[in-house]
Amino acid sequence: MENTIRRIGRFLEVTDGDGRRYLLPADARNLLVCDTDCLRNESEIHYGSRRIQVFQPYDKVVEALLERAFS
């Protein structure tokens, strides 16, 4: 899945492995990103009590989060 994560203004649209979409505030303080496998081609986003598995590497997720933070 290529468009698993995309930036929409100050939000991050994330599509999980089952095709469910989530719209998360990119500047949320309780957002956690981590690798899920040793190949480093999948990651998880933890938002509150929700755990979202995405088929994008950690670096791509962080890049999407920081896309406009330093512009």
pLDDT at 39: 87
Q: How far apart are CA 66 and CA 19, in angstroms?
A: 24
pLDDT digits (tens, 9 = 90+) for 16-70: 888 999 999 988 888 899 998 888 889 999 998 999 999 889 998 888 888 755 5
Angle at 45 between CA 58 and CA 54, to 5 degrees: 65
Q: How far apart are CA 10 and CA 57, in angstroms?
A: 21
Handedness of CA 21, 26, 31, 35 (dihedral sign): positive
Two tokens, residue 12: 């991050």
Two tokens, residue 58: 């950690």
pLDDT at 18: 87
pLDDT at 20: 93
Going from N- to C-terminal start, the domains of the chain cover: 5-66
